[in-house]
Chains A and B, each alone.
Chain A
């Protein structure tokens, strides 16, 4: 069983909606990540949080807004998305973001469809 939990598993939203994806880990990890995966493509990094601060933003459009309320939680707020944003959104965590020896663990993902 994964120790990174994502909700919801599936989300359908309109282009004018505001929704959020949530991620939680209880492994004491201090780095958390959001990845986006389109069909038949590898995951691509969106954001990295290290010690609850945003450390990497891979030039993601502002309609995606990450938030890290505490060391165990990571949210991704969605607003005014486009149909091409439909994808699998994967959350991950690791002990920290900068050292070697950091195995990254992924959640089961949230399947997002924008209509």
Chain B
């Protein structure tokens, strides 16, 4: 099946700093989402971005599908940005359905 790798695995930031999270995937995809998992376990959908660039407030994401990677940018980080960020993809094989495969996550801690 499709492989998804995220880097770095852990990230410690000072409040106000900027950061970039990376997601590499091994096959063509028709679905790529970035999630933020809060300490209570909820997965919050940040972006649906199988290709192109999107921005939402202090967060933005870029996916270069031809090179099989996606980047999540966090600007002016806040303590509420702490948590685990997951990249998840679904391959283009129809038989796979909308079967999201998650990367290992990047655990982010923003210090005040």
Instruction: Spell out A's residues near B (CB within 8 Å).
Output: 2, 31, 37, 41-45, 48, 50, 55-56, 88, 90, 92, 94, 96-109, 111
Contacts and interface: CB of A to CB of B under 8 A. Distances in A.
Interface stretch (B11-19, B56-64, B69-77, B93-101): B93-101
Interface in B19-40: 30-31, 33, 35, 40
Given A44-B102, A108-B41, 19 more contacts: A42-B86, A42-B102, A42-B103, A42-B104, A42-B105, A43-B86, A45-B99, A48-B97, A50-B97, A56-B99, A98-B98, A100-B30, A103-B33, A103-B48, A104-B31, A104-B45, A106-B35, A109-B41, A109-B42
Contacts of A2: 42
A28 B76 CA distance: 37
A107 B45 CA distance: 11
A47 B32 CA distance: 19
B45 A106 contact: yes
Contacts of B41: 37, 88, 90, 108-109, 111
A22 B100 CA distance: 21
Contacts of B33: 103-104
Contacts, number: 66
9 contacts: A42-B88, A48-B98, A97-B97, A98-B98, A102-B31, A104-B88, A104-B98, A108-B41, A108-B42
Contact of A106 (B42, B98, B103, B104): B42
Q: Counting chain A CB atoms within 10 Å of each CB, which of B44, B98, B104 scores highest?
A: B98
Interface residues of B, number: 24
B43 A102 contact: no
B42 A96 contact: no
A94 B97 CA distance: 11
Contacts of A105: 45
A106 B41 CA distance: 10
Q: Counting chain A CB atoms within 10 Å of each CB, which of B41, B48, B103, B104 scores highest?
A: B41
